[in-house]
Structure 1
């Protein structure tokens, strides 16, 4: 009888162990179809096997299965790739627009490896895009500092964040693996704070990492535009338009520069290459109005309406606004 009781206890313990293994799946990082529908295969035996399965599922665009396998890879002891896996999990959530889970995944990656440059940079991008500029800035600083450690530089970057100088940024070491988006992000934040020269140095560093980065060129061109340096603004903005003719922001920026230079025909031609004529005419009128040239904007709005009266109420609204501003400037 005693042996029978011991045997039953062993069976019960084995059953509990099996249930614990199922429950070990960390669903706090998961969002997708029920995991029960993803568990047909035998459980992976190693971290690498689970990651390989996740990579295969990701390549086949089976996102729920990829998440499931990557998360299962985190269940093993003595993890070797946890921080990288958590970044991939975060990237999947980010692509799906699930910001809370993306944030949670990246933060856990930083817990696993406080000097993981990519995780720190991704958090900077995530916070900045969602309006949390202070935290975005902090993580961009941390990403660059971690990169300097990787490059065997001993002097910490941004120790006193309120006093970053152009010379400090200029002295930073780089290679092609350095955090491109951290430099661009800090450049944008410097421009927001009207620190044009500092912003431009960040963008130049980004271009040293990737000379073909249209995002760095676009922001550098706009930074020069805001400082009134139309020559440099044109130089970089034209490059982006040449590489990406459908880039709306680049097209608008180029037209803005031409408008300020009084080259209205050039601005119109820029828009005409990528949009219908009535939309191009309206856009030129709108930029003229923004630049306090309300009288000059009126003919462009009228031409836009003539080109497409039924489909273009926006031009009517802009025309009314321009006429109202003209009356306000010239009261009778």
Structure 2
């Protein structure tokens, strides 16, 4: 199981926001942000812009992942109105994405000083701790946030992911289920629950919910990949190949399925799949040849799933 989980972790599709580094000098990284003035249109009068205008532009820049410009606007918004919680959240998020964890923590703590009941700030603090693998602190923050906002799908998802990453998959399962109940129209909820089932080796349960995820988002490659993994792990490599072929291409499909079969000790089937990966793309999938060499050390008779 450990090898399979290592493979799943390498492919994994539960994604959350991360970010930040050294502690920030002063309350905000003003000098760093002000260096980005050149990014603004020369006709813009920064001093004449209102705090709310800076906040709006900061959020738009963050949406484009233009972190330098986002930090500038959030910082200027706070210099004009330091009560804007949304500006603290935006600045903290920008710093997290830059992996400046210490600076992000300072900003989020400032937000919580302004409003100790701010669920988004506490949730982001939990994500920040989780990013640094401080799971105890992360769970403390996220459990608090979930108690304050028990019907918030975002909070429930982040708490579930944290339980999962800390090795508490069974605890995570309940929260992933709750997200599906809260937002049954969203593919991502079913996808996350299905992935949790994969980690718990509940393959048929994973297939059931991941099929719903793909039905809700037929072109979503993450949903395709996760469902393909579920098929492969449950002993249905044909279905896995079909989905992998659509999402990542023929060579990658055979390579992925071949590796999964190998770690499950289906040696002969793994050899066939990896050989087909090499046939499909001998240059790009040279790694498939390395996997074939590994098979020589685990040669044994196994049932043929491809016959």
Q: Deviations over 1:140-176 (max 9, x none)?
A: 11211332xxxxxxxxxxxxxxxxxxxxxxxxx42xx
Whole-angstrom distance in 1 between the partners of 2:36 and 2:247: 46
Whole-angstrom distance in 2 between the partners of 1:183 and 1:57: 27
Whole-angstrom distance in 1 between the partners of 2:122 and 2:246: 40
Whole-angstrom distance in 1 between the partners of 2:164 and 2:58: 41
CA displacement at 1:129 relative to structure 2: 2.7
TM-score under structure 1 length normalisation: 0.69
Other structure's SS at 1:292 match: coil
Bigger radius of gyration, 1 or 2? 1
Structure 2 unmatched ranges of 5 or more: 1-25, 303-307
TM-score under structure 2 length normalisation: 0.74
- Cα RMSD for the two superposed structures: 3.2
Tell me which residue corresponds to 1:50. Answer: 51
Whole-angstrom distance in 1 between the partners of 2:37 and 2:194: 52
- Say which of 234, 237, 251 aligns to 1:278: 251
- Say which of 241, 244, 247 aligns to 2:221: 247
Tell me which residue corresponds to 1:70. Answer: 74
Higher RCO (Cα < 8 Å, 6 or more apart): 2
1:124 and 1:182 in contact (8 A); partners too: no
CA displacement at 1:65 relative to structure 2: 5.2
Tell me which residue corresponds to 1:34. Answer: 35
1:298 and 1:319 in contact (8 A); partners too: yes
CA displacement at 1:111 relative to structure 2: 1.6
* Counterparts in 2 of 1:113 and 1:296: CA distance versus 1, 3 Å: same
CA displacement at 1:283 relative to structure 2: 1.2
Whole-angstrom distance in 2 between the partners of 1:294 and 1:288: 7
Tell me which residue corresponds to 1:204. Answer: 177
Which one is further off, 83-92 or 184-193? 184-193
1:30 and 1:67 in contact (8 A); partners too: no
CA displacement at 1:35 relative to structure 2: 6.5
* Counterparts in 2 of 1:307 and 1:75: CA distance versus 1, 3 Å: closer
Whole-angstrom distance in 1 between the partners of 2:48 and 2:246: 54
1:141 aligns with 2:143: yes
1:83 aligns with 2:85: yes
Other structure's SS at 1:43 match: helix
* Counterparts in 2 of 1:209 and 1:222: CA distance versus 1, 3 Å: same
CA displacement at 1:42 relative to structure 2: 6.5
